[in-house]
Chains A and B, each alone.
Chain A
């Protein structure tokens, strides 16, 4: 199988959660993780780095996560990038908000490591397949 290095952008202000997620990504060596601790940095990186996947905390210090999601889905440069909401909100609210704001998935905190990685792979695998097909 041809592995293509993929870039994941993590927009998360909680340093403990960011550290935990970064640790989990070490199990996915095909991923390069970019980290933004606020919305402004996250939006800048989303535009400049064209990541393959964005993980977005819905509670950010400088802008509501939902607003960030709506900007990302509104901009032609980022609209196509799979976006996963990461939130401590009650699961039903998280699901409704993620869906309403055009997110492609959501992960509730606190999360189970295996379930977290499975959700990530769901999106990376699609991108991998597409990339391999393009290479062939």
Chain B
């Protein structure tokens, strides 16, 4: 007889499960924006891409992306915020964003409980689909989302172009900049399938949108819509309306960046399969990181 196998073993004190206070979910609307901002920044302190916010940025984020704080969640235990997650609503879809758990409070299921809360809220709102994005290589989050039934849709690129990056030559063109109203009307003709961040309501809410139209000598033409702030260009939408897309897109990028040489350009969530991405790279755009767009069907 193997003596050791007959001796009962007991868990050591150190391996006894910690008694955790009960986890409570509260609507994010019950908290001031300052508290939400602080909690959000704490959740991202050791994140792959930290992306901190201040109150102004969080307020803009809520406005631009139709985030409903009354349907968003804050996880609490012992009156301490453990984590939070926001819910954007554009019927019949919802969008889960800014999910985060404070580093010292992880590995106790808070992230999953937050997700389950927002999935239930989405069902209550009769949403047919929930969308979210996860940074590529954020394995814990990606695994959690798959476990909850989310499926990958596509990869999205977060790209940017520093000021004065070299521009390749473009075919001769004439360019005309367009006011906001005209720019937004151009978006009605958009063929590409944007992510939540660049959907029509997001661009309308964001404000400071401008347009650009270029015409080549050959008669081919295209347009761009973009956001212009003091130091940045962003939310770029490019579209060639003719067959020679390469020449038109090169002309659009040349006209845009020649007119705004001092502006830093950012673009979040460009679909990785976007046919214009290679031309953007030639114009000095760099990849910052990649996200994976995922969806959960509630039909």
Residue positions of A touching B, CB distance < 8 A: 13-14, 16, 38, 59-64, 66-67, 70-71, 74, 88-90, 93, 96-97, 100-102
Besides A64-B264, A66-B162, 6 more A-B contacts (Cβ < 8 Å) are A63-B231, A67-B264, A70-B264, A96-B286, A97-B286, A102-B162
Q: Is the CB of A67 within 8 A of B52?
A: no
Q: Does B51 contact A (CB under 8 A)?
A: yes
Segment at the A interface, from B41-49, B116-124, B176-184: B41-49
Q: Does B160 contact A (CB under 8 A)?
A: yes
Interface size on B, residues (CB 8 A): 25
Number of A-B contacts (CB under 8 A): 60
Q: Does B262 contact A (CB under 8 A)?
A: yes
Residue positions of B touching A, CB distance < 8 A: 41, 45-54, 56-57, 160, 162-163, 165, 231-232, 262, 264, 266, 286, 288-289
Q: Is the CB of A16 within 8 A of B45?
A: yes
| Contact residues of B: prevailing secondary structure | loop
**Assembly CA distance A2 to B245 (angstroms):** 62
**Please, which residue of chain B has its CB at the minimum distance from the CB of A90?**
B48
**Please, which residue of chain B has its CB at the minimum distance from the CB of A96?**
B286
21 contacts between A and B (CB under 8 A): A13-B41, A16-B45, A59-B51, A59-B52, A61-B41, A61-B53, A62-B56, A62-B57, A63-B231, A64-B232, A64-B266, A67-B232, A67-B264, A67-B266, A70-B264, A71-B231, A88-B49, A89-B48, A89-B289, A100-B162, A102-B162
Min CB distance A62 to B, Å, is 5
**Please, which residue of chain B has its CB at the minimum distance from the CB of A88?**
B50
Q: B residues within 8 A CB of A64?
A: 160, 232, 264, 266
Q: B residues within 8 A CB of A96?
A: 286
Q: Is the CB of A60 within 8 A of B286?
A: no
Q: Is the CB of B45 within 8 A of A14?
A: yes
**Assembly CA distance A60 to B262 (angstroms):** 20
Q: 9 tightest A-B contacts by CB? A: A59-B50, A61-B54, A61-B52, A67-B264, A100-B162, A70-B264, A70-B163, A101-B162, A62-B54
Q: A residues within 8 A CB of B163?
A: 70, 74
Q: B residues within 8 A CB of A60?
A: 52
- Are A66 and B264 CB-contacts (below 8 A) given A93-B289, A100-B165? yes
**Please, which residue of chain A has its CB at the minimum distance from the CB of B165?**
A100
Contact partner, A97, options B46, B47, B288, Cβ 8 Å: B288
**Please, which residue of chain A has its CB at the minimum distance from the CB of B163?**
A70
**Assembly CA distance A13 to B148 (angstroms):** 34
Min CB distance B207 to A, Å, is 17
Min CB distance A6 to B, Å, is 28
Q: Is the CB of B48 within 8 A of A88?
A: yes
